[in-house]
Amino acid sequence: MIAMTALSANASLHPGQIIARDLDLPGAEFLGHVGLGYWNNNGKPDGNLPTDNIIHIHYGQPEKKTIQINKFITFYNPGSFWGAKWGIIESNYMQGVLGYAKDQMRFGAKYIFAPSSTRSGYNDKHGKAQPARFRCDTFVQWAYEQGGNYNFRLPLSAITPEILFSKFPRFNTSVPHRSIAPEIHEETDKAVENMNMFEFGNYMDQIKSKGEDYLKSLAKKLPQEKSFELERFIASLNPSIEKIKSYIAEYDNAKSDYEKKLAFAKLIMIEGELDTDESYEVYKDFYAKNYLKDNSVNKYDLLFGHINSSQISSIDDNEEQKIFARILEIYPDNDVARYSSIAELAFKSKDQRGVLNKALELAGDNEEYTLETIEQTAFFARHFKKGFSPELKVFLRDFIQMEKEKQSLTENFRMSESLNEISSVIGA
């Protein structure tokens, strides 16, 4: 390992760059912690000038202090810092990314351990401030997707600080970052076993030139956690339709939950590497075949994949009923993901109006469930402006007018913002 030093005078972090380090939790350091570079100018946008401020979400703090703007030096530690990265959006989008991140400080936030994100706003019934709910990685992901209009193409269940950090392609080379180049003569010795998962990720990247056969033989010698990650890494190399079909065969013939989980992880990994019409059809058939019958840990992603692989307004009534029943089956009554899933189903169904109405009826008087449904609808309004059927537009115009007359949900900051986004698309 190349030892890292204290920050030099030439180190220049820039606004919006993702920063990462080990988690401050003994025994779980490898899980990681991420944040964002933030503006120096008293929190006011000042372009892409170097900064020594960061914004991140901090575990174990009161709600008003969970999201913090601190000095970069308080985040950086020579022994645990991973680096600063950038390169997925243009710098002129950073005002939106950091504006959305900063906005969540207004009402405070709760740090949650689940891979979920809920922005802050007002509780319309009692007029109380409603805190945001984030984990460090979902906070960064949410800021980029909302403020930078960027889609990481990752289901929430797949996000970790390490995976999110890996999605940014370029290191800021003026800031020290961890680089692994150990002299290893026997790959199963302590040098590999003692690597944390970030170090191991760098190591895998350095030995990939040795070829897939070598990497597969190494995977058989490693502890299960590292073997799993190496198998996923191999899946991303030299993607092909033949590989996808071989992983589907592994999934179909799996004799244990672990084998099935590994095969599915490979499929998810290669899906993002090979984006062709043929691969799209193969994945579509795979999700359609398995989303109803698989009750393993993969069931949520299988359902997500099945809905997501459908074209806009392509799901007929018979299939829509099956998917709707499956959503109710696998998501608990109190899980807001139930409502965002139904809203996504609505957008892909031929009967968009009818399915969205089902979601709102199911939500009833629960403002949080209604809000989740409308926020997901606003997401589609933002990204697929021409996808709304005439019937759905009429339904949403009526809904928006009704909410304005009630002056209840529209007093909720989050709901007002979502309804405004929908209005701008449908002309309400």
For strands 53-57 and 33-38, give the pairing: antiparallel
Task: Return phi, psi of residue 340, to 5°.
Answer: -65, -35
CB-count burial class (<10 Å; 0-12, 13-18, 19+) for 257: exposed
Helix, strand, or coil (residue 58):
coil
Per-residue pLDDT, 187 = 46
The pLDDT score that the predictor gives to residue 185 is: 46
pLDDT at 376 (0 to 100): 80
- Give Rg (Cα) of the chain: 23
CA dihedral angle for residue 340, residue 344, residue 345, residue 350, rounded to 10 degrees: 140
User: Would you state the pLDDT for residue 250?
Assistant: 95
**pLDDT tens series, the chain, 428 aa:** 333 444 554 568 899 999 999 887 665 566 789 999 998 866 566 667 888 899 999 876 776 678 988 889 888 877 788 889 998 888 778 888 998 888 888 767 877 776 667 666 544 444 455 678 888 998 999 999 888 888 887 766 668 888 889 888 888 888 877 654 444 444 445 667 777 665 676 678 778 888 899 999 988 888 888 888 889 889 888 889 999 999 999 999 999 888 998 998 888 878 767 778 888 899 999 999 999 988 887 888 889 889 888 888 899 999 999 999 999 999 888 777 788 889 989 989 999 999 999 999 999 888 878 888 887 888 777 667 778 889 999 999 998 888 777 765 555 666 777 788 888 888 76
φ, ψ dihedrals at 306, nearest 5°: -65, -45
How large is the greatest C-alpha to C-alpha distance in the chain, in angstroms?
Answer: 73
- Reported pTM: 0.61
